[in-house]
């Protein structure tokens, strides 16, 4: 039986925990110190709830982050220094060059690996393949309801209560999007890492009052041809800012940890 450490236990963490493959057991859960007793009481003795990486005296087969970009900054380097594999869902954190460099150094020193998970989008495998032989342009577009943008910097760019039709409120690079919208633009960073990089991937973010789903699209062109992907994903009922598919991509990484045939 393989063992999992999870960082974070909000809406996404609960979804992932409920769908783990039988061959992988949640052994350690990392939360803030203020939540340790509460979460430990909820989960019981089968899971050890921690507030610091160093409290784990064994080696997890996989560590998955489900807690946001702040958790990547706080715990990522320590996980990698220990030689563990870290699956990141908050890929937007890697738009910070200083953080990315520190994680690379930690991985090189400790022997750990970073897995940037696909999250709420499909097609990153094709995009990464196209990059190997002449990828020329990549545009990512994200469209969400006003509710999904609440609590984000979008509120300073557009009046979410007054929007009556689909409205683009941000155009820029994937790096700008990931740094300005840390809870909403992880997909932009994932697309960038798979393709042309943070500064050469163009991003458009839209608020759509008629939308009941989170809509993502990728348009890429190059020597390989043209790739066009559109995905309409449902948010988790418990958190409209979190895509159900993003949680499922974490589950997929957990299944890869146990399967012998990987796709």
Q: For residue 153, what are the CA distances in angstroms to 27, 72, 115, 142?
A: 36, 20, 27, 15
Verify whether residue 75 is a known catalytic residue.
no
Asked whether 16 and 253 are in contact (CB, 8 A), the reply is no
Asked whether 163 and 207 are in contact (CB, 8 A), the reply is yes
List all residues 6 or more positions away from 182 whose beta carbon is below 8 Å from its beta carbon: 68, 69, 90, 92, 93
Q: CA quadruple 148, 154, 159, 162: dihedral positive or negative? A: negative
Catalytic residue, chosen from 52, 75, 216, 256, is: 216
List all residues 6 or more positions away from 197 whose beta carbon is below 8 Å from its beta carbon: 174
Q: Give residue 134's region: left, alpha or beta (phi > 0; psi -120 to 50).
A: left
Q: CA quadruple 126, 130, 131, 132: dihedral positive or negative? A: positive
End-to-end CA distance of the chain: 21
Query: What are the φ and ψ backbone dihedral angles of 205, each rounded to 5 degrees?
Result: -120, 135
Asked whether 245 and 231 are in contact (CB, 8 A), the reply is yes
Active-site residue numbers?
216
């Amino acid at each position: 039986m393989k063992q999992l450490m999870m960082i974070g236990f909000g809406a996404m963490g609960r979804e992932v925990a409920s769908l783990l493959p039988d061959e992988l057991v949640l052994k350690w859960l990392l939360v803030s110190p203020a939540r340790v007793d509460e979460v430990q009481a909820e989960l019981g003795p089968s899971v050890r709830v921690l507030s610091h990486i160093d409290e784990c005296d064994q080696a997890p087969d996989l560590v998955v982050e489900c807690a946001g970009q702040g958790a990547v900054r706080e715990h990522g380097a320590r996980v990698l220094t220990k030689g563990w594999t870290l699956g990141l869902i908050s890929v937007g954190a890697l738009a910070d060059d200083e953080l990315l460099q520190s994680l690379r150094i930690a991985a090189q020193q400790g022997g750990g690996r970073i897995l940037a998970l696909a999250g709420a989008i499909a097609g990153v495998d094709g995009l990464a393949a196209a990059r190997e032989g002449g990828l020329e342009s990549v545009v990512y577009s994200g469209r969400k309801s006003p509710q999904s943008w609440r609590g984000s910097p979008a509120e300073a760019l557009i009046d979410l209560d007054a929007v009556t039709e689909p409205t683009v409120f941000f155009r820029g690079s994937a790096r700008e999007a990931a740094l300005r919208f840390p809870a909403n633009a992880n997909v932009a960073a994932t697309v960038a890492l798979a393709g042309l990089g943070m500064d050469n991937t163009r991003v458009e973010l839209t608020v759509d009052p008629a939308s009941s789903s989170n809509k993502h699209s990728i348009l890429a062109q190059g020597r390989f041809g043209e790739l066009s992907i559109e995905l309409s994903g449902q948010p988790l009922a418990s958190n409209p800012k979190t895509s159900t598919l993003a949680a499922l991509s974490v589950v997929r990484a957990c299944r890869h940890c146990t399967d012998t045939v990987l796709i």
